[in-house]
């Protein structure tokens, strides 16, 4: 397992090679390869430290290669609102034809995406969308549905009078808020017997989730289920209890369908997740931005599907990741 997870992390960190600093120009060799491209597109990624964000950035690069008339440059927001906002301003100043923003905190990025629109540049927000920006498009997944499919399954899986912990994404983040809302309305409303013994923000971060879980294990003892707003945090919590037999039956739920989560589910260490396919999301982003750039569409707001991944079908997704080199033996 350790070798497989290490392989996943090694592949994902290769994305670093495609990133440039927020204030730097794109790499010279990339410009040379794409000197005949008609359109320049900037993708402002949320953070390299988030495994899903890293995966999505990698898939964006791959999807963009299918459009010879587009040149994609990727910038890392480093999970820092100021750095991400500076990257957006730099992209505007550098004359990009389109800018795709993966917000770190939607409301913090809102005025900067509005600047993109005001500058007459095509704007797309993705993973998560920022609603209500006139003139901007969005390519996303439905975060309520992503949590809902897990929450419905959990109704019959979590034991009576279960004790659960809740790992939340960043406050104000559209995906984090909507996923938590779904868990409250679908699961907790149906299971008033369940007690939340720990709930806190881990901000999509594995290390933060591990720290919280260590505290909860010490202070709360029995934990029947880990309810996480993404796979990265769920995996962090599971890392804390993996060698503790007292938690052998602890359930765990996430969202994203990352390679790591699919391996954990296949091995019976995690209960379920909902696929937020970075592959599909990247393809849809590139298709959408191309349609906007060429005038085929003037505004697009669209979502990818949200299938549930369980022990019954996890091997199908593991195979997909192996085929793409995201999991190696």
Q: Helices marked H in the chain — which ranges?
A: 2-13, 28-33, 51-64, 81-93, 106-118, 143-157, 174-182, 206-220, 231-241, 259-266, 278-294, 314-323
Residues 185-208 have a mean pLDDT of 97
DSSP single-letter state for residue 264: H
- Strands of the sheet containing 163-168, edge to edge, are 195-201, 163-168, 225-228, 251-253
Helix (H) or strand (E) holding 71: strand 70-76
- For residue 127, being part of any structural domain is answered with yes
DSSP letter for 275, please: B
- Per-residue pLDDT at 95 exceeds 50: yes
Pick from 61, 118, 120, 68: nearest CA to 96: 120
| 282 part of a folded domain | yes
Instruction: List Cβ neighbours of 113 (8 Å cut-off, separation of 6 or more).
Output: 88, 101, 123, 125, 130, 133, 136
Q: Which of 181, 137, 151 is nearest to 287 (CA)?
A: 137
Q: How many CB atoms within 10 Å of residue 7?
A: 17
**Is the previous residue joined to 128 through a cis bond, with omega within 30 degrees of 0?**
yes
Strand, coil or helix: 304: strand
Per-residue model confidence (pLDDT) at position 35: 52
Q: Are 220 and 191 in the same domain?
A: yes
What mean pLDDT do residues 252-272 have?
A: 97
At residue 10, the pLDDT reads 43
Number of domains in the chain: 2
Long-range CB pairs of 179-185, under 8 A, 24+ apart, other chains included: 179/143, 179/144, 179/146, 179/147, 179/229, 179/255, 180/147, 180/229, 181/144, 181/147, 182/143, 182/144, 182/145, 182/146, 182/147, 182/148, 182/151, 183/147, 183/150, 183/151, 183/227
Mean pLDDT of 201-221: 97
Q: Are residues 183 and 262 in the same domain?
A: yes
Is residue 300 pLDDT above 70, yes or no? yes
Domain membership flag for residue 311:
no
Q: Is the dihedral of CA 302, 183, 227, 48 positive or negative?
A: positive
Say which residue, 314 or 79, is predicted with more confidence.
Answer: 314
Per-residue pLDDT, averaged over 63-83, amounts to: 96
Q: What is the pLDDT of residues 102-127, one digit of tens each?
A: 999 889 999 999 999 999 999 999 99
**Nearest alpha carbon to residue 1 among 318, 320, 323, 324:** 318
pLDDT tens string 30-61: 433 445 679 999 999 998 778 889 989 999 99
Residues 12-32: pLDDT tens digits? Answer: 444 433 444 444 433 333 433
Q: Which domain holds residue 95?
A: 2-140+278-304
Mean pLDDT value of segment 65-92: 97
Q: DSSP characters for 39-59? A: EEEEEEES-TTSHHHHHHHHH
203: in domain: yes
**Same-domain check for residues 50 and 159:** no
Counting Cβ atoms within 10 Å, is residue 129 exposed (0-12), middle (13-18) or buried (19+)? buried
Among the listed residues 20, 18, 86, the one whose alpha carbon sits nearest the alpha carbon of residue 55: 18
pLDDT the model gives residue 152: 98
Both 114 and 156 in a single domain? no
My answer on whether 10 and 128 are in the same domain is yes
Assess whether 115 and 176 both reside in one domain: no
Verify that 294 and 235 share a domain, yes or no: no
The per-residue pLDDT for 36 is 63
Flag the least confident range among 153-157, 169-173, 209-213, 309-313: 169-173
pLDDT computed for residue 243 by the predictor: 93
Give the Cβ contact number of residue 279 at 10 Å.
19
Confidence bin at 144 (pLDDT 50/70/90):
very high
Q: Is position 324 within any domain?
A: no
DSSP class per residue in 166-207: EEE--TT-HHHHHHHHHIIIIIITT-TT-EEEEEEE-TT-HH
Count the Cβ atoms, other than its own, within 10 Å of residue 282: 25
151 in the same domain as 117: no
Q: Does 100 share its domain with 221?
A: no
pTM of the full structure: 0.80
Q: Establish if 83 belongs to a structural domain.
A: yes
Same structural domain, 11 and 113:
yes
Return mean pLDDT, the chain.
90
Q: Span 273-301, mean pLDDT?
A: 97
**How many C-beta atoms surround the C-beta of residue 212 within 10 A?**
23
Residue 315, in any domain of the structure: no
Specify the CATH number for the domain of residue 183.
Answer: 3.40.50.2300
- CA dihedral of 288, 177, 225, 1, whole degrees rounded to 10: 40
The answer to whether position 314 is within a domain reads no
Q: Are residues 131 and 6 in the same domain?
A: yes
Residues 118, 191, single domain; the answer is no
């Amino acid at each position: 397992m350790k070798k497989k997870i290490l392989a996943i992390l090694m592949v994902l960190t290769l994305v670093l090679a495609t990133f440039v600093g927020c204030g730097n120009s794109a790499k010279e060799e990339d410009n040379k390869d794409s000197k005949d491209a008609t359109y320049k597109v900037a993708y402002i990624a949320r953070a390299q430290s988030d495994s899903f964000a890293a995966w999505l950035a990698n898939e964006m690069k791959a999807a963009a290669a299918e459009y010879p008339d587009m040149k994609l440059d990727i910038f890392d927001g480093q999970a820092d609102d100021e750095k991400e906002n500076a990257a957006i301003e730099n992209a505007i100043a550098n004359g990009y034809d389109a800018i795709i923003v993966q917000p770190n905190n939607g409301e913090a990025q809102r005025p900067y995406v509005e600047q993109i629109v005001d500058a007459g540049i095509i704007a797309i927000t993705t993973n998560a969308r920022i609603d209500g920006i006139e003139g901007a498009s969005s390519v996303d997944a439905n975060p309520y549905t992503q949590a809902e499919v897990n929450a419905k399954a959990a109704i019959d899986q979590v034991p009576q009078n279960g004790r659960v912990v809740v790992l939340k994404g960043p406050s104000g983040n559209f995906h984090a808020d909507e996923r938590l809302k779904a868990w409250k309305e679908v699961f907790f409303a149906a299971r008033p017997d369940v007690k939340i013994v720990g709930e806190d923000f881990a901000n999509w971060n594995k290390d933060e989730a591990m720290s919280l879980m260590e505290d909860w294990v010490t202070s709360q003892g029995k934990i029947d289920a880990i309810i996480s707003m993404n796979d990265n945090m769920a995996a962090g919590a599971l890392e804390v209890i993996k060698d503790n037999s007292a938690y052998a039956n602890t359930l765990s739920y996430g969202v994203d369908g990352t390679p790591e989560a699919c391996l954990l589910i296949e091995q019976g260490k995690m209960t379920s997740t909902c696929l937020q396919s970075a592959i599909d999301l990247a393809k849809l982003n590139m298709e959408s931005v191309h349609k906007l750039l060429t005038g085929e569409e003037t505004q697009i707001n669209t979502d990818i599907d949200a299938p549930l991944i369980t022990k019954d079908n996890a091997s199908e997704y593991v195979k997909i990741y192996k085929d793409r080199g995201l999991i190696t033996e």
